[in-house]
Amino acid sequence: MVQVQLVTSIRATIRALDAAIADAVASHPYAPLLATTPRIGTINLGQLTGEIGPILERSRTSEQFTAGTGVVPVTRASGKSRVVSYRHAANHRARLAIVGYAARILARAWLRVMWACWRDGTCYDPRHPPSQQQDQTRSRGGSGGIEVDSGRSQVLDAKAFLTYGLHHCKEQGPRSPPEEEVRT
């Protein structure tokens, strides 16, 4: 019973803090500009405006801005060696805010591509614009697995896809899995 009350209290505190963050973000002068960024929520918007806002104000070019956030690599080279590393003289919290946000968006996009490839039994083809890929996806429907054409229609389940799936390109065609992993 005490644990339930504790969890309820923590949830109420989280809701109050989320509301306070939303109010603070709404009053920030850069919030309307950055709120149009795809897939940015209130918490990410608050973190980004707080961390990169001052860097935006003191930067005169986009190169200065990206260097100030620490996402531009630094190259140190001599006659014998060349080292590329992160910039140490940067706002580390700003770098973490933008890199974490961008990594989540990129990861979600790639996972959606992988899911569509698995669902439709096709390999990823970057030569097609996304609109054509979506049309192909809609017209083919999804079978919940990969169609393997080896004289008869077979469908791979998720485990077989992870074992045999994406690394086969269209030119080579999908390889038939062992019989014990095939569903009909």
Beta pairing, strands 82-85 & 182-183: unpaired
Quote the CA–CA distance of 181 and 47 in Å, as a whole number.
47
In a domain, 168, yes or no: no
- pLDDT band at 9; cut points 50, 70, 90: very high
CA distances from 21 to 28, 52, 146, 174 (A): 11, 16, 45, 50
pLDDT greater at residue 161 or residue 88: 88
In a domain, 180, yes or no: no
Structural domain containing residue 43? 2-120
- Summarised one tens digit per residue, pLDDT across range 87-128 is 777 888 888 888 888 888 788 887 777 777 778 777 777 676
Specify the 3-state DSSP secondary structure of 75: strand
pLDDT greater at residue 126 or residue 167: 126
In a domain, 174, yes or no: no
> What pLDDT, on the 0 to 100 scale, is given for residue 128?
60
Query: Is the CB of residue 160 less than 8 Å from the CB of residue 118?
Result: no
- Region 10-35: mean pLDDT is 90
In a domain, 148, yes or no: no
What pTM does this model have?
Answer: 0.51
In a domain, 153, yes or no: no
In a domain, 176, yes or no: no
Quote the CA–CA distance of 129 and 151 in Å, as a whole number.
31
- Indicate if the pLDDT at residue 62 is higher than 70: yes
> What pLDDT, on the 0 to 100 scale, is given for residue 16?
95
**Domain count of the chain?**
1
In a domain, 67, yes or no: yes
In a domain, 135, yes or no: no
